[in-house]
Amino acid sequence: MTDSSPPSQSAGAPRLLLASASPRRRELLGLLGVRFTVVTSRFNEERLKETVSDPVEYVRQAAEGKARDVAARRAGVVLGVDTDVVLADGTILGKPADQDDAFATLRRLSGVTHSVYSGVALLAADGTGEAGVSRSEVRVVETKVTFAELSDEAIYAYIATREPFDKAGAYAIQGRAMPFVSRIDGDVSNVIGLPLWTVGEMLADFGVPLWRFGE
């Protein structure tokens, strides 16, 4: 549990809790100028993976599951997020297990359009268990990402940078994979891991003050 962002808590404003340990999500959320606390969720994604195969339904339920776990024990507005990289045939691409897996993943992305889906769940809770959740909203954001035709040389060079290994879909659009992406259609921050405009709209709707930089 750590505090992020410089701004001070506004009087009367709800406390924002981010149910994600991802440093990238933390950094992105900071761009909205909100004060928040990171609370790691204990939500079990493995069980969900066995029961839900539709990617949109999966990110929706995973985002809500993460937020509900935190909301049951902490008072505030809880943000849960889950992002998946999905091929046109519905295959969900996880983090690559090894070099061969990274190569196979990038080869499948080469020259085609895939989708990045994020589920975003926002829950207002008083911390008194599941019954203490007074309000919830869940949205799913899709961004289409088109990769150029990649040579084996380009893929091997990228894998050698080690960047693919902690990334779903084996690439980071904000990193060395930027030249691989010939176009995107949708919110670019969603591809990095947090659809900022959607999150900002939902936070404002829940009374969380935005744009408090350097206060």
Residues identified as active-site: 82
Characterise 206 by phi-psi region: left (phi > 0), alpha (psi -120 to 50), beta (else).
Answer: alpha
End-to-end CA distance of the chain: 22
- Spatial separation of the C-alpha atoms in residues 33 and 215, rounded to whole Å: 10
Q: Does 6 bind its own copies (CB under 8 A)?
A: no
Judged by CB under 8 A, the residue of 106, 109, 124, 173 near its own copies is: 173
CB of 53 to its own copies, least distance (A): 28
Judge whether 147 and 181 are in contact, CB under 8 Å: yes
Q: Does 48 sit near its own copies (CB under 8 A)?
A: no
Q: Which residue has the tokens 């900022």?
A: 196
Judged by CB under 8 A, the chain residues 178 through 207 that form the site for its own copies are 178-189, 196-197, 200-201
- 176 touching its own copies, by CB under 8 A: yes
Inter-residue contact 92 to 55 (CB < 8 Å): yes
Q: Which range, of 24-32, 36-44, 97-105, 114-122, touches its own copies by CB under 8 A?
A: 24-32
Amino acid found at 203: L
Q: Does 40 bind its own copies (CB under 8 A)?
A: no
* Nearest alpha-carbon partner for 118 in 141, 138, 93: 141
Query: By rule CB under 8 A, what count of residues binds its own copies?
Result: 37
Task: Look up tokens 């070099």; give the residue.
Answer: 99
- Of 44, 129, 134, 211, which lies in the binding site for its own copies, with binding defined by CB under 8 A? 211
Rounded least distance, CB 147 to its own copies, Å:
9
Residues between 127 and 166 that touch its own copies (CB under 8 A):
143, 148, 151, 153-154, 157-158, 160-161
Candidates 26, 131, 139; CA nearest to 71 is: 131
Backbone phi and psi for residue 69, each to the nearest 5 degrees, phi listed first: -60, -45
CB closer to its own copies, 126 vs 185? 185
CA distance 24 to 26: 5
Q: Does 33 bind its own copies (CB under 8 A)?
A: yes
> In the complex with its own copies, which residue's Cβ is closer, 28 or 125?
28
Judged by the rule CB under 8 A, the positions of this chain that interact with its own copies are 28, 31-33, 143, 148, 151, 153-154, 157-158, 160-161, 173-174, 176, 178-189, 196-197, 200-201, 210-214
